[in-house]
Amino acid sequence: MVINFLGNFTNIDELEKEMSCVEYNIANHVILVIISVGKTVVISESCHMVREESKILVNNLQKLQLRHPVRSGVLLLLQQFSTQVSQNAIHFTAFGFFSVNLSFLYTFIASSVTYVIILIQFRLN
């Protein structure tokens, strides 16, 4: 069903004639869920990577302050920047409603799988 939908994706009019309305709607919803999950994976992984890179940045700044001889003005700026990055943790939210991180990704995938299972159960009845 889904393979048929993907194979004929270029000619939607013939696809609607071949499949029943319910099959077409289920296939359409499954494809939309897969696209949404893909976008969410990319966004969540990007946010996670930025957060991990900020932790690495703090460590590198501290190592730079300890090991390399630098001028006092530059050292002061490095210390201020290091303090600012370490004390103000980076996190991403969707307008302050929820955090966008890997736990959001897992919740989103679980909800999407539940939605697909419910669609399949309605089709079997």
Task: Tell me the mean pLDDT in the region 21-46.
Answer: 83
Of 98, 101, 94, which Cα lies nearest the Cα of 41?
101
* pLDDT category of residue 99 using cuts at 50, 70 and 90: confident
Q: What percentage of the chain reaches a pLDDT higher than 90?
A: 4
Tally: H helices and E strands in the chain: 5, 0
Query: pLDDT tens digits, residue range 35-56?
Result: 887 888 888 899 889 988 988 9
Percentage of the residues of the chain whose pLDDT score is greater than 70:
83
Residue 122 pLDDT: 85
Per DSSP (E only), the strands in 1-125 are none
Query: What integer is the mean pLDDT of 89-116?
Result: 84
Residue 1: pLDDT band (50, 70, 90) is very low
- Cα 62 from Cα 81, distance rounded (Å): 10
- The answer, yes or no, to whether residue 11 has pLDDT greater than 70, is no
Domain boundaries, the chain: 2-124
Q: Look-up: residue for tokens 């009019």?
A: 13
Q: What is the pTM of this model?
A: 0.61
